Amino acid sequence: MSKKYLNKICAYCAESVSTAGDHVFAKKFFLEDKRSNLPQVPVCDKCNTDKSKLENYLMTILPFGGRHEDAHKNLTEMAPKRLAKNTRLHKKLSAGIGLFRILQSSGISARKTGIRFRNSELWKSVSKLSEYLVRGLYCWHHNNVTLEKDTYVKAWPLSANEKNIFIQIL
Ligand SMILES: [Zn+2]
């Protein structure tokens, strides 16, 4: 492992000494042929463990809602292997399968097979991972800054009104 990420201040908690380099976006979020040159930051043992738990959950769940070009391959090839290793999550998702009335972009609703997620658990995990991403990617990797340990970083899903403002800015 590169010494570049060892014995530094952890990019995430800004408190403990790093023991490894961490891919800010875990390699397993990507198809195997698209994992090169992912940004890394120094990470301590605790943050590495805590972030890995979030990633293992989200890398299995998020492909179900993915719309990018790799989402289908990710879902059909990688998600089954992950679910085979995580019987608890597999049972939980299987219990949520059903027919749901879904409002399509055309404005017409249709009944489709889907999986019901516990939104609060999903958003809590996405928000927490997003906070790691802000500290690791935006601060440490792009701007060469480690935030102070008591710096407040919070991520949350946008309301409909906030989405409109965000879209107008883009
Ligand atoms: Zn840390």
Q: How far is the CA of 87 from the centre of ligand 1 (A)?
A: 29
Q: Are 22 and 48 in contact (CB under 8 A)?
A: yes
Q: Is residue 153 scored above 80 in pLDDT?
A: yes
Closest CA to 78 of 89, 70, 87: 70
Tens of pLDDT, residues 115-152: 877 778 888 999 999 999 999 998 899 998 888 888 88
Q: How far apart are CA 115 and CA 107, in angstroms?
A: 21
Q: How far is the CA of 116 from the centre of ligand 1 (A)?
A: 33
Tens of pLDDT, residues 19-41: 999 999 999 999 989 899 899 99
Q: Is residue 107 scored above 80 in pLDDT?
A: yes
Which residues fall inside 5 Å of ion ligand 1, going by CB?
A: 10, 12-13, 16, 44, 47
Specify the pTM: 0.81
